[in-house]
A and B are shown apart, each in its own frame.
Chain A
């Protein structure tokens, strides 16, 4: 089925017309398409057409499990399989996806394309580290199977490449065996950025899942409220007897007014959040622990008609105070960041241009506004100076010259990409913006 549709990223800006090809058969859906799109959770322009009217394949209906071996912990599925469905199949069998992002509404293909990371990056690495094989449709239309042994160069070039080396059709990965489907969670309030980062690093030495949250509204990061989350899969003894159940999300269904996420209300929310998160160590459902925002199906509409801007970067750990300099830049602009999340990374991603590197990552949310470009430019100047990089799954406004300055690996990856797509048939709005692809 082919139809013209208005598409936008999760940030809801910009809106672009595309011809969307939808089919339960992904070989059909991707035939002649210039890019692939899953559940549309990339914030910026990673899954938007290279130009208005370009053909985009939608993988939403290609979500069948093709092979599931619970004993070996191996799953192969069509690229449109959502993490939500994967979790529903795996958890009752004592298995779990080894790496999960902050939302369950993503597809396997999207998780490969962004080489997503999670709260266990410091121990488990990124999603790409757990892949066994991929089936791709490359630029000239051929179907190619890749794995660490078969076409390893294309395999590595595809992980974290935002779908720009080919359409991802099938994904095979190893699942993790877990003692129970519950998470043992411990939460602490910590005041100030430096103590929070120190506690985060310390927690990561003994916990598989760690993440920190800091009040992005505070004018001085040194005194900002912070919350540290630690978790691990609960032992059988700690876990409740029943299986945890996913919540049915509420749906706002309309745009919130623009004043809702202004400085004063965000500040008040963050205060309440910091207070409310102080609770005793306890088993919680994996949905509450990993995907708290999924409780509201369309939370991006809270930002009103102007849309929302996410910015996520990683800065290497060998430079003291890098995270501080990023947050200082935000404070200087006076933009209230609703959600500011900090996470320590332990290692590089497997992909040729994967996002992750050892260091600290910061994810910030802003309402989209007239100063957005200036803010992103200023943040990117800091990131370039620190030797860090930005996360393309969330990016919309990074300039090509900044991206190139962050990516010494770019030329090697581009050479592989050209080898498999010499005519440049696969491109997205993101690759037009950052790589200079023809629109």
Chain B
């Protein structure tokens, strides 16, 4: 496995990278903070990744960094076969409603630029006959709900794009894995009230890695969210308009 990860320094990305490293994967990390990338690189080497784990600067808010970063990953890994995107922004509905600048950044990072990053990655994968593109979306994109109207809209768009990508390019060898986590206890969700069925990053990573192995187009984590998602999709508008979740 030759894998590029954008978002390996924290949360689900760190947990998933460690599990890939434990299999002896060759890895290349993309991110903003050079110290964090170097520390995570060492950590992944200790977990079993092929030495050395390289890294390059890449920022989801600066799409002009994508091509160069993936180019460097490609030459370092001698042609990657898997791309993982776990980086994203999150903020509560209240904050996003109150801070238009933050909302702007979030919509770019979680939808527009995420799609651009995936396009850059899938072009490179398809050029060599395919590979795996694993992207973390969210159950917030499953159905519009009051606490996640804006974040959920961005993630719904991302989910929609990933489904389309799967329809269009699976035949050509591109295996798209859209991850829909429920609430997971990471830095992103620190300080929020913990709802039922909250997940642990390492268990989520285990579920995601199994989905990558199978090339499963959609994976819920923790798995119970598959059923909660189905129930949510079945709820009539009249109900969702009244409830607060």
Interface residues of A, Cβ cutoff 8 Å to B: 1-5, 20, 22-25, 61, 64-68, 75, 78, 89
Contact = CB atoms under 8 A, between A and B. Distances in A.
Contact of A65 (B35, B43, B192): B43
Contact of B187 (A1, A4, A64, A68): A1
Given A5-B191, A24-B187, A61-B186, 5 more contacts: A4-B191, A67-B42, A68-B45, A75-B46, A78-B39
Contacts of B138: none
B10 A1 contact: no
Interface string B179-191: 0000000111011
Given A64-B43, A65-B47, A24 B191 contact: no
Nearest to A68: B46
Contacts of A22: 187, 190-191
A24 B43 contact: no
B159 interface: no
Contact of B39 (A2, A4, A64, A89): A64
A25 B190 contact: no
A367 to B, nearest CB: 27
Contacts, number: 46
A22 B43 CA distance: 19
Nearest to A24: B10
**Central interface residue in A5, A64, A75, A78, by most chain B CB within 10 Å:** A64
Interface residues of B, number: 19
A2 B43 contact: no
Given A64-B43, A65-B43, A1 B190 contact: yes
A3 B190 contact: yes
A68 B186 CA distance: 25
Nearest to B185: A60
B46 A20 contact: no
B9 A24 contact: yes
Contacts of B42: 64-67
Contacts of B187: 1, 22-24, 61
Nearest to B18: A85
A133 to B, nearest CB: 16
B46 A89 contact: yes
Nearest to A76: B42
B55 interface: no
15 contacts: A1-B187, A1-B190, A2-B191, A3-B191, A3-B192, A4-B191, A22-B187, A22-B190, A24-B10, A25-B33, A61-B187, A64-B43, A66-B43, A67-B42, A75-B46
B169 to A, nearest CB: 34
Nearest to B47: A89
B164 interface: no
Contacts of A4: 191
A208 B214 CA distance: 47
Contacts of B191: 1-5, 20, 22
A25 B40 CA distance: 11
A96 to B, nearest CB: 15
A61 B46 contact: no
